[in-house]
Structure 1
Amino acid sequence: MDKSLEKQLTSWLRQQKKSCGFYLNLTVLFGLLTGFSLIVQAYLLSTILHGIIILELDKSHYTNEFLFLLALIPVRALLAFARERASFESGKRLRLQIRSAVLDKLIELGPAFIKGKPVGSWASIVLEQVEDLHDFYARYLPQIILAGFIPLTILIVVFPLNWAAGLILLTTAPLIPMFMILVGMGAADANRKNFSALAKLSGHFMDRLKGLPTLKIFNRGDAEVKEIETASEEFRERTMSVLRMAFLSSAVLEFFAAVSIAVLAVYFGFNYLGHLNFGDYGGGISLFVGLFVLMLAPEFYQPLRDMGTHYHAKAQAIGAAEELMALLEYKPEADAIERKAGGIELDWRTGVEIIATDLAVMSHDGGQLVGPLSFHLKQGQHVALVGPSGSGKTSLLNALLGFLPYHGSLKVNGFELRELDKAHYRRHLAWLGQDPQLFHGTVRDNVAMANPDMRDAEVEALLAKAKVLDFVQEQALGLQHPIGEQMTGVSVGQAQRIALARALGQEAKLFLLDEPTASLDSHSEQAVLSALRDAMSQSSCLMVTHRLEQLDGMDTILVLDKGEIVQRGSFDELNREKGLFRQMQDDVCEVETCIDKESNS
Structure 2
Amino acid sequence: MRDDKASTANPDGNDAGAAECRALPLAQRMAARGLHHVLALQIARMALRLGFTATAAVAAGKLVMNDPVDSLLISLAIILLVGAAVAGFLADRAQAAAEADVAIRLREAASARLNAMPPRQLKQLPVGTLVVAMQRHPEAIASLVIGHRAASMMMAVGPLAAAAALFLVSWQAAVLVICLTPVMILFFALVGDIIRSRAAAQERAFGRLAGQFADRIRALPTILANHALSSEETKLAGRLESYARETMGVLGIAFINAGIIDFFASLSIALLAVFLGLGHLKLMMIPGFSNLELWQSLFILMIAPDYFAPFRRFSEQYHAKAEGLAAAAALGRLLDVDAPERLAIAALDRPLAPLPNHGLVAIVGPSGSGKSTLLRRLAGIEQAVTLGQPELTDFIWVSPDCLTPEGTLAEAIAWRLPVLPCEKLREAANAVGLLDDALLPGGLDARLTRGGGNLSGGQKLRISVARALLAGRTVIADEPTAKLDAGTAGLVREALVEMSHSHLVVVATHDRELAAAGRMMIDLSNDGTFEVAA
TM value normalised by structure 2:
0.63
Alignment pair present for 1:79 and 2:90: no
Report the Cα distance in structure 1 between the residues aligned to 2:204 and 2:100, rounded to whole angstroms.
24
Alignment pair present for 1:316 and 2:323: yes
Alignment pair present for 1:366 and 2:370: yes
Return closer, same or farther for 1:14/1:46 CA change in 2, 3 Å cut-off: farther
Is the contact made by 1:335 and 1:405 (CA closer than 8 Å) also made in structure 2? no
Alignment pair present for 1:66 and 2:74: yes
User: CA offsets, 1:294-332, max 9 Å, x none?
Assistant: 111111111011112211111111222222233455526
1:57 Cα offset (Å)? 3.1
Aligned counterpart, 1:286? 293
Is the contact made by 2:27 and 2:141 (CA closer than 8 Å) also made in structure 1? no
Partner letter of residue 163 of structure 1? W
Alignment pair present for 1:22 and 2:30: no
Alignment pair present for 1:41 and 2:41: no
Equivalent position SS for 1:185? helix
Aligned counterpart, 2:235? 227
Question: Aligned match of 1:561 in 471, 475, 482?
Answer: 475
Report the Cα distance in structure 2 between the residues aligned to 1:297 and 1:217, rounded to whole angstroms.
68
Report the Cα distance in structure 1 between the residues aligned to 2:157 and 2:335, rounded to whole angstroms.
35
Within 5 Å, which residues of 2 pair with 1:260-275? 260-275=268-283
Report the Cα distance in structure 2 between the residues aligned to 1:187 and 1:373, rounded to whole angstroms.
45
Report the Cα distance in structure 1 between the residues aligned to 2:315 and 2:377, rounded to whole angstroms.
60
Report the Cα distance in structure 1 between the residues aligned to 2:36 and 2:166, rounded to whole angstroms.
27
Is the contact made by 1:184 and 1:245 (CA closer than 8 Å) also made in structure 2? no
Report the Cα distance in structure 1 between the residues aligned to 2:450 and 2:277, rounded to whole angstroms.
82
Alignment pair present for 1:51 and 2:62: yes
Equivalent position SS for 2:473? strand
Partner letter of residue 325 of structure 1? G
Aligned counterpart, 2:99? 91
Is the contact made by 1:159 and 1:166 (CA closer than 8 Å) also made in structure 2? yes
Return closer, same or farther for 1:207/1:268 CA change in 2, 3 Å cut-off: same
Equivalent position SS for 1:83? helix
Within 5 Å, which residues of 2 pair with 1:338-417? 366-368=370-372, 400=381, 408=387
Is the contact made by 2:405 and 2:450 (CA closer than 8 Å) also made in structure 1? no
Equivalent position SS for 1:561? strand
Equivalent position SS for 2:474? strand
Equivalent position SS for 1:57? coil
Return closer, same or farther for 1:68/1:410 CA change in 2, 3 Å cut-off: farther
Unpaired runs of at least 5, structure 1: 1-10, 338-356, 375-395, 413-431, 437-491, 497-514, 519-543, 550-556, 565-577, 582-601
Report the Cα distance in structure 2 between the residues aligned to 1:254 and 1:306, rounded to whole angstroms.
11
Report the Cα distance in structure 2 between the residues aligned to 1:251 and 1:195, rounded to whole angstroms.
25
Unpaired runs of at least 5, structure 2: 1-21, 346-353, 356-360, 392-401, 407-446, 452-459, 479-500, 505-534
Is the contact made by 2:44 and 2:87 (CA closer than 8 Å) also made in structure 1? yes
Return closer, same or farther for 1:204/1:152 CA change in 2, 3 Å cut-off: same
User: CA offsets, 1:77-98, max 9 Å, x none?
Assistant: 2211211122123222322233
Alignment pair present for 1:218 and 2:226: yes
Question: Aligned match of 1:111 in 113, 119, 123?
Answer: 119
Report the Cα distance in structure 1 between the residues aligned to 2:384 and 2:144, rounded to whole angstroms.
37
Return closer, same or farther for 1:333/1:66 CA change in 2, 3 Å cut-off: same
Report the Cα distance in structure 2 between the residues aligned to 1:213 and 1:494, rounded to whole angstroms.
10
How many residues are treated as equivalent by the alignment? 385
Aligned counterpart, 1:474? none
Within 5 Å, which residues of 2 pair with 1:489-504? none
Partner letter of residue 19 of structure 1? M
Return closer, same or farther for 1:227/1:318 CA change in 2, 3 Å cut-off: same
Return closer, same or farther for 1:219/1:545 CA change in 2, 3 Å cut-off: closer
Within 5 Å, which residues of 2 pair with 1:300-339? 300-327=307-334, 331=339, 333-334=341-342
1:286 Cα offset (Å)? 0.4
Report the Cα distance in structure 2 between the residues aligned to 1:269 and 1:20, rounded to whole angstroms.
47
Partner letter of residue 17 of structure 1? Q
Aligned counterpart, 1:259? 267
Is the contact made by 1:195 and 1:320 (CA closer than 8 Å) also made in structure 2? yes
Aligned counterpart, 2:132? 124
Is the contact made by 1:192 and 1:319 (CA closer than 8 Å) also made in structure 2? yes
Return closer, same or farther for 1:369/1:42 CA change in 2, 3 Å cut-off: closer
Return closer, same or farther for 1:160/1:125 CA change in 2, 3 Å cut-off: same
Equivalent position SS for 2:168? coil
Return closer, same or farther for 1:281/1:190 CA change in 2, 3 Å cut-off: closer
User: CA offsets, 1:393-433, max 9 Å, x none?
Assistant: xxx5xx64x6x989848999xxxxxxxxxxxxxxxxxxx95
More strand, by proportion: 1
Equivalent position SS for 2:114? helix
Is the contact made by 1:194 and 1:238 (CA closer than 8 Å) also made in structure 2? yes
TM value normalised by structure 1:
0.56
1:33 Cα offset (Å)? 0.9
User: CA offsets, 1:529-583, max 9 Å, x none?
Assistant: xxxxxxxxxxxxxxx995999xxxxxxx98222559xxxxxxxxxxxxx9679xx
Report the Cα distance in structure 2 between the residues aligned to 1:211 and 1:153, rounded to whole angstroms.
60
User: CA offsets, 1:16-75, max 9 Å, x none?
Assistant: 312113110111111111111111101111121222322x3344xx11112122222332
Aligned counterpart, 1:297? 304
Report the Cα distance in structure 2 between the residues aligned to 1:21 and 1:98, rounded to whole angstroms.
14
Report the Cα distance in structure 1 between the residues aligned to 2:76 and 2:166, rounded to whole angstroms.
22
Return closer, same or farther for 1:317/1:186 CA change in 2, 3 Å cut-off: same
Is the contact made by 1:246 and 1:312 (CA closer than 8 Å) also made in structure 2? yes
Deviates more, 1:148-157 or 1:88-97: 88-97
Is the contact made by 1:189 and 1:319 (CA closer than 8 Å) also made in structure 2? no
Is the contact made by 1:187 and 1:312 (CA closer than 8 Å) also made in structure 2? yes
Report the Cα distance in structure 2 between the residues aligned to 1:372 and 1:325, rounded to whole angstroms.
25
Report the Cα distance in structure 1 between the residues aligned to 2:241 and 2:146, rounded to whole angstroms.
31
Partner letter of residue 287 of structure 1? L
